[in-house]
């Protein structure tokens, strides 16, 4: 490839966030952004995950401060709701911006 060192250092792939970019976590953030507040079961169904797998990904996002997890009841049934934090919305927007730059580089070739 014929790129200068400065061009390579500025490559959009270098800025991808490993916490956000992982397929399931990117899906969680995107769905939560669209819905504002989403129920655990809905995420599990949409992303085709087991409850345990989804829980692990939610823990990573919550520890990073990107989502808030709220447990409560709807009638007699226990429910878990997920909302995107301001930091999560910014992280998602940043990731989408980097992905758009990557796409533009490929399409420009």
Identify the pLDDT of residue 70.
96
Q: What is the DSSP string of 9-37?
A: HT-GGGG--HHHHSHHHHHHHHHHHHHSE
Inside any domain, residue 107: no
Using CA atoms, how far apart are residues 107 and 76, in angstroms rounded to an integer? 52
Identify the pLDDT of residue 9.
55
Domain count, the chain: 1
Inside any domain, residue 5: no
For 37, the domain range is: 15-99
CATH number of the domain that 90 lies in? 1.10.10.10
Inside any domain, residue 108: no
Inside any domain, residue 105: no
Confidence of residue 76 (pLDDT cuts 50, 70, 90): confident
Give the model confidence (pLDDT) of 27-47 as tens digits: 999 999 999 899 999 999 999
Inside any domain, residue 4: no
């Amino acid at each position: 490839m014929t790129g200068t060192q400065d061009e390579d250092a500025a490559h959009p792939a270098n800025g991808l966030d490993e916490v956000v970019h992982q397929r399931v976590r990117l899906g969680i953030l995107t769905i939560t952004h669209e819905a504002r507040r989403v129920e655990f079961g809905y995420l599990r169904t949409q992303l085709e995950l087991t409850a345990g797998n989804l829980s692990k990904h939610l823990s990573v996002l919550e520890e990073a401060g990107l989502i808030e997890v709220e447990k409560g009841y709807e009638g007699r049934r226990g429910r878990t709701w997920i909302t995107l934090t301001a930091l999560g919305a910014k992280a998602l927007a940043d990731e989408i911006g980097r992905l758009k730059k990557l796409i533009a580089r490929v399409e420009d070739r």
